Amino acid sequence: MRLLAALLLAGCASMGSAGGAGPVTDQPMPDLTLQPMHGRAPIRLAGLRGKVVLLDVWASWCAPCREELPLLDDLARRLRGERIEIIAVSVDEERAAADELVRMRPRWHLTMAHDPSVAERLNPPAMPSSYLIDTRGRLQQVNAGFQPGDIERLEARLRALAGAR
C-alpha cells in the first residue's frame, strides 16, 4: 500500500526509490504469474520461454500510460504471429479503475492483466515501464516512462530479439 501511495504522490515520475532494486538486464526475470483481465488462465512468464515478451507496467491514473496502451495494442496487432507476446499489467489497487480504462477499446490484441503486487516485485523506475524479455526469459531492456517515439524503438528491438524482420 505504501508503494502505491508513493506512486500516486509522484504521479508518473521516477519511482525507483519507492521499493528497492528492480530486475537487472541480462539476468532472468522474476517468474511472475499474472491473471489476465478477460477470463483466461493465469500466465506464467516462465511459460513464455521461446517467445519475446514485452511486459508493460501501467496504472489508470497515469496519463502517459493512457497514451501508451492503445499504441502498444496496435503494436501487438502488427506483431501477431512473430513469436512476440505483449502483456500490459495494471498495478492499480482497485481493479475497477483498470477495468474502466480497458473498456475504452472494444477489443485488445495485447493481453491485459491486473496485479498490484507487480509494482513491488519489479520496482518500475517510472510509470509506465516496459520490460523487454528475450526468448530465454532474460531481461534485455527496460523502457522507463513513455515518449511518442518509443513505440518505433520498442518495435525494432522486439523484432531484433525475435529474429523477425
Q: Is residue 118 part of a domain?
A: yes
Of residues 87, 89, 83, 29, the one with CA closest to residue 52 = 83
Q: Is residue 124 part of a domain?
A: yes
**Alpha helix positions (H), the chain:** 2-10, 63-78, 95-102, 117-122, 150-162
Q: Is residue 22 part of a domain?
A: no
Q: Is residue 108 part of a domain?
A: yes
- Residues 104-131: pLDDT tens digits? 899 999 999 999 999 999 999 999 999 9
pLDDT grade for 1, boundaries at 50, 70 and 90: very low
Using a pLDDT cut of 70, give the percent of the chain over it: 86
Q: Is residue 15 part of a domain?
A: no
Q: Is residue 16 part of a domain?
A: no
pLDDT grade for 148, boundaries at 50, 70 and 90: confident
Q: Could you tell me if 143 and 129 are in contact, meaning their C-beta atoms sit under 8 angstroms apart?
A: yes
> What is the domain extent for residue 62?
2-8+27-162
Q: Could you tell me if 91 and 57 are in contact, meaning their C-beta atoms sit under 8 angstroms apart?
A: yes
Say how far residue 131 (Cα) sits from the centre of its chain. 6
27 class by beta-carbon count within 10 Å (0-12 exposed, 13-18 middle, 19+ buried): exposed
Helix pair angle (63-78, 150-162), 10° resolution? 40
In the prediction, which pLDDT does 48 show?
Answer: 96
Q: Is residue 40 part of a domain?
A: yes
Structurally, the chain folds into a number of domains equal to: 1
In the prediction, which pLDDT does 94 show?
Answer: 93
What's 78's domain CATH number?
Answer: 3.40.30.10
Q: Is the pTM of this model over 0.95?
A: no
pLDDT grade for 21, boundaries at 50, 70 and 90: low
Q: Is residue 17 part of a domain?
A: no
